[in-house]
Amino acid sequence: MSVTSNAALVLGVERLRTEFRINGAWHAAVDDVSFALASRETLALVGESGCGKSVTALSVMGLVPTPQGRIAGGSIVLEGRDLVGLREPALEKLRGARMAMIFQEPMTSLNPVMTVGTQVAEALMVHQGLSRRQAEAKALAVLDEVKVPSAARRFHEYPHQFSGGMRQRVMIAMALACEPAVLLADEPTTALDVTIQAQVLGLLADLKERHGMAMLFITHNLGVVAQIADRVAVMYAGQIVEQAAVGAIFARPAHPYTRALFAAIPRMDRDAQELAAIPGRVPPLDAMPAGCRFAPRCPLARDGCEQPQVLAPFGDGHLARCHVATSGVV
């Protein structure tokens, strides 16, 4: 693991393995994943749909669905306490209090028959033992902090009365109400237009600094990564294939998969261009390649790629799971 910040370590994930049962056999959706987060630091977890980003976040939150899913190995240490193996009552005390999650689609995460104010206040009543009046007063202050316009008036409105961007702000308010140590944001700007997206990103960055949180930001949008991240971990087929500071990733992407992701981004400075597509698809859980998992789609595949790859250092804090990239022969 690598942390660039000098702040105290808040979350440490080490060799995490999360499995799902398919046709009676267990297969890893997250395999040998390690990363660390410090206070006021943002790690962006990047990759295609189906690469294991959301399952990683659900594993941290203790929300992997059972009995068809399980955490089969590794550790998840939050503020010095290993969460793997904790019983549900202990996890419930931590969720919303010391760790919180913003889900991708707020309309399916908010309760449609409860006012937004009540939903924000509920976390405060459960985790901080506040009375309803105290919780509602603090919930109103949190809605003001996340810049919900006319928060006092809108406090008693329902989710369907809010726009997509405002619903996302309510979700952020719910997550931040108890001032968690770690915030996990699962593609919170995907459904928003670019103007509202920029506002939400700016809000998250501001709140992270103000509250001293660590943030795991899950996205497939590299433009978002450039705006908000301190470090980047690129995931493919359940594994982290590259990890470095955000500047290093953008200046010198090393893994062929990371390079392919950058090549697929349209260039605004060119009138005519061909978009580079990555051939093939992410392999299914029950048909993972024995060696490098990206090798069947990789234009640089060569001898040695049929062997399992390890996440190896090849520069100052730069890691890649590719013997071609780490040898410097690309």
Q: Are residues 161 and 191 in the same domain?
A: no
Residue-wise pLDDT for 237-291, tens only, equals 999 999 999 999 999 999 999 999 998 887 776 677 777 888 888 999 999 998 9
Give the integer Cα–Cα distance in Å for 66 and 21. 10
Q: Are residues 32 and 172 in the same domain?
A: no
Of 102, 176, 184, 180, residue with least CA distance to 143: 176
Final residue before a domain boundary, out of 179, 213, 241: 179
> What pLDDT sits at residue 157?
96
The answer to whether residue 298 is domain-embedded is no
Contacts for 178 with CB less than 8 Å, ≥ 6 apart? 96, 97, 100, 123, 124, 127, 128
The answer to whether residue 292 is domain-embedded is no
Q: Are residues 72 and 191 in the same domain?
A: yes
CATH of the domain at 89: 3.40.50.300
Mean pLDDT across the chain, nearest whole number? 90
Tokens of 240: 């982290």
Give, in order, the Cα–Cα distances in Å from 195 to each of 34, 123, 148, 199: 34, 30, 16, 7
As a dihedral over the C-alpha atoms of residue 289, residue 292, residue 298, residue 301, rounded to 10 degrees, the angle is -110
Does residue 113 or residue 207 have the better pLDDT?
113
Decide the pairing of beta strands 312-315 and 231-236: unpaired
Q: What strands, in cross-sheet order, belong to the sheet with 231-236?
A: 99-102, 182-186, 214-219, 42-46, 231-236, 239-245, 318-320, 312-315
**pLDDT higher than threshold 70 for residue 330:** no
The answer to whether residue 308 is domain-embedded is no
**pLDDT higher than threshold 60 for residue 7:** no
The answer to whether residue 72 is domain-embedded is yes
**pLDDT higher than threshold 70 for residue 4:** no
DSSP letter (8 states) at residue 245:
E
> What pLDDT sits at residue 192?
75
**pLDDT higher than threshold 80 for residue 60:** yes
Residues of the chain with pLDDT > 70, as a percent, come to 95
The answer to whether residue 26 is domain-embedded is yes
Q: Are residues 34 and 155 in the same domain?
A: no
Total-model pTM: 0.90
Give the total number of structural domains in the chain: 2
Q: Are residues 30 and 86 in the same domain?
A: yes
Q: Are residues 136 and 214 in the same domain?
A: no
Q: Are residues 91 and 193 in the same domain?
A: yes
Average the pLDDT over 130-142 and give the result: 95
Band the pLDDT of 328: cuts 50, 70, 90.
low
On the CB side of 50, CA atoms within 13 Å amount to: 6
The answer to whether residue 165 is domain-embedded is yes
Q: Are residues 70 and 136 in the same domain?
A: no
Domain that holds residue 175: 109-179
Average the pLDDT over 136-146 and give the result: 94
Q: Are residues 65 and 141 in the same domain?
A: no
Band the pLDDT of 151: cuts 50, 70, 90.
very high
Q: Are residues 160 and 270 in the same domain?
A: no
> What pLDDT sits at residue 318?
93
Q: Are residues 25 and 84 in the same domain?
A: yes
The answer to whether residue 299 is domain-embedded is no
Does residue 202 or residue 270 have the better pLDDT?
202
Does residue 164 or residue 28 have the better pLDDT?
28
Give, in order, the Cα–Cα distances in Å from 221 to each of 62, 63, 292, 309: 26, 24, 24, 26
The answer to whether residue 122 is domain-embedded is yes
Residue-wise pLDDT for 68-113, tens only, equals 999 999 999 999 999 999 999 999 999 999 999 998 777 788 999 9
Average the pLDDT over 131-151 and give the result: 94
Q: Are residues 187 and 87 in the same domain?
A: yes
Decide the pairing of beta strands 182-186 and 99-102: parallel
**pLDDT higher than threshold 70 for residue 1:** no
> What pLDDT sits at residue 69?
96
